[in-house]
């Protein structure tokens, strides 16, 4: 029985690229498959990124017969076996949104994926890149990998392509930051549809309609996903929030009270670290904001 990887799911069909000796045969055409009814009975659903066993049918299509165990699974966007989350945020048009970036980081930390922050549109910076450098250094101090790119000038494009080799990455971020443009830059001939930014609305048109894996060479695949303008915390417990802020870890274990919320308790070492400038103001302010947002949601549901 042949094996493959689902590279696209659309309208009830799964498009499977064959595997040859464990490697994706990127030069071969995808096989259009249906899923066995047994998946629905088990409450399972094949996802883009799943490694599968499939069989060919008489009409030249196929049937997904079996799913291999997943290394990871994202609910939103629905992708399996992702190894790296690439968060794209623009320097300008739209302006840098650190609140949304931190919200994405909370979700990615909770999912257990590695993270790469990519700051796009550096060519639009009007301060010689000073603000970009401040953001880059702040997140690098926390322990995140940060790259700066410009699709217009090509800055960082080749370094990014090399970084994405050898695994499945998911691209996510604010709408209009240039995800499709950047992918077009690092994968010549891809020609994804791009959306112009509406300056009046401050956001871009959503140009990506479904999740699809794109072969970028060197054994790397990117899941290009619909742009997001908001995320919610319904799948995350409020008591887990602080563990999704990496820089809290060194201090939280020293807090006076077990289960410290790091908001008002005496003897809280996270608060002391923030007051001492060891935790960035924006990060701590966003932690408090997210904590209260989660508490409000819990009251409503």
Annotated binding site for GTP: 120-123, 173-181
Angle ∠(225,48,243) on CA atoms, nearest 5: 70
User: Which residues define the annotated binding site for Zn(2+)?
Assistant: 255, 260, 262, 268
Cis status of the peptide bond prior to 94, with omega within 30 of 0: yes
How many CA atoms, within 13 angstroms, populate the side-chain half-sphere of residue 32?
A: 8
Angle ∠(16,192,159) on CA atoms, nearest 5: 90
Chain centre distance of CA 21? 29
User: Which residues define the annotated binding site?
Assistant: 120-123, 173-181, 255, 260, 262, 268
- Residue 31, both tokens: 């096989």
Q: How far apart are CA 130 and CA 128, in angstroms?
A: 6
Q: What are the φ and ψ backbone dihedral angles of 132, each rounded to 5 degrees?
A: -60, -45
Q: How far apart are CA 184 and CA 140, in angstroms?
A: 27
Instruction: Say if residue 266 is exposed, middle or buried (CB neighbours under 10 Å; 0-12, 13-18, 19+).
Output: exposed
Give the helix ranges, DSSP H, for 81-151.
Answer: 98-111, 130-142
- Residue 127, both tokens: 């301060």
Q: What are the φ and ψ backbone dihedral angles of 149, each rounded to 5 degrees?
A: -135, 165
Element (H, E) at 185: helix 179-186
Beta pairing, strands 3-10 & 13-20:
antiparallel
Q: How far apart are CA 156 and CA 83, in angstroms?
A: 21
């Amino acid at each position: 029985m042949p094996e493959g990887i689902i590279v696209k799911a659309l309208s009830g069909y799964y498009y499977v690229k064959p595997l040859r000796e464990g490697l994706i045969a990127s030069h071969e055409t995808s096989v259009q498959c249906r899923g066995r009814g047994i998946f629905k009975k088990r409450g399972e659903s094949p996802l883009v990124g799943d490694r599968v066993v499939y069989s060919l049918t008489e009409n030249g299509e196929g049937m997904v017969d079996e799913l291999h165990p997943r290394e990871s699974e994202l609910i939103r966007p629905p992708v399996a076996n992702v190894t790296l989350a690439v968060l794209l945020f623009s320097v300008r048009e739209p302006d840098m949104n650190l609140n949304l970036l931190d919200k994405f980081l909370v979700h990615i930390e909770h999912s257990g994926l590695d993270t790469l922050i990519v700051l796009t549109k550096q060519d639009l910076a009007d301060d010689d890149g000073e603000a970009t450098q401040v953001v880059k250094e702040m997140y690098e101090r926390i322990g995140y990998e940060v790259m700066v790119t410009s699709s217009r000038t090509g800055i960082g494009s080749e370094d990014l392509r090399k970084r994405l080799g050898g695994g499945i990455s998911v691209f996510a971020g604010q709408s209009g930051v240039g995800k499709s443009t950047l992918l077009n830059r690092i994968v010549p001939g891809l020609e994804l549809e791009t959306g112009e930014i509406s300056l009046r609305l401050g956001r871009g048109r959503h140009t990506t309609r479904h999740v699809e894996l794109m072969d970028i060479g060197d054994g790397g695949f990117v899941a290009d996903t619909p742009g997001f303008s908001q995320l919610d915390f319904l799948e995350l417990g409020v008591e887990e929030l602080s563990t999704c802020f990496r820089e809290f870890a060194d201090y939280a274990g020293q807090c006076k009270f077990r289960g410290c919320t790091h908001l008002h308790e005496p003897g809280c070492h996270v608060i002391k670290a923030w007051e001492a400038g060891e935790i960035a103001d924006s990060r701590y302010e966003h932690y408090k904001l997210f904590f209260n947002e989660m508490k409000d949601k819990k009251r409503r549901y």
